[in-house]
Structure 1
Amino acid sequence: MNKTEAPVVNRERLLDAWQKTLPTTLNESDRAEVLADAADPDVYRIHIDTAGHSGYSFDFKVTYLDSREIKVEFVDVEKDRVSVDEHTDIIQTLIEDYVRHIHECAQVLHKLTHG
């Protein structure tokens, strides 16, 4: 898909909005960090630490395809800072859940990206 229109808000403002909004779409005790990608202005990196004692942390890459649509890519999962097999049922379920939450956050931010 070609980029038809980039988000209309400046990158710092959108990053700030992601940082404030994403935690509201996750489980209360999950922790999230959103960073701007150093190489691509349309990409954000998301790191999520799961709630509870599981010790899982997930990394995702979010790319703005245009002002309304994002692409979410799973990058890695670790447990206690060691990479684990992402093909287990529980990890796949968590990945799907977090991708859904990331899309929910992007939906909330439509008022900024497609102003």
Structure 2
Amino acid sequence: MSVVNEDAERLLAAREPRVAELARSLSALILAVYPEAVVTVDGGDIGFGSGTGYTGLVFVVTPHIRHVNLGIAGGATLPDPAGLMAGTGKVHRHVQIRHADDLARPELRELMVAALARRH
């Protein structure tokens, strides 16, 4: 079942089924906190933002071989008391999602809500 769009489904169809399902579940979580998001696909990434361009981007879902990354635009300046974010960039950070249980962490949702609140 598609929770995103046809372009995203084509991207996920080429991935390991477990990773594709993680990406779908993560996308559903993003859309639960950001229902008005415009969903785009660029290369191997699924973007969620206020428009189709990079400037409005808030979240990026990137499926990898064994996990899915949740990219958070501007994440480097967000509070992260649970230490979920990884990366060394000056602006952006990501959270690795390895298991469905990772999506149930309240700290993840809090981080997403904080990122969205700052962008709007």
Which structure is higher in helix share?
Answer: 2
Q: TM-score, normalised by structure 2?
A: 0.32
Name the structure, 1 or 2, with higher relative contact order (CA <8 Å, separation 6+): 1
From the CA coordinates, give the structure whose radius of gyration is larger. Answer: 1
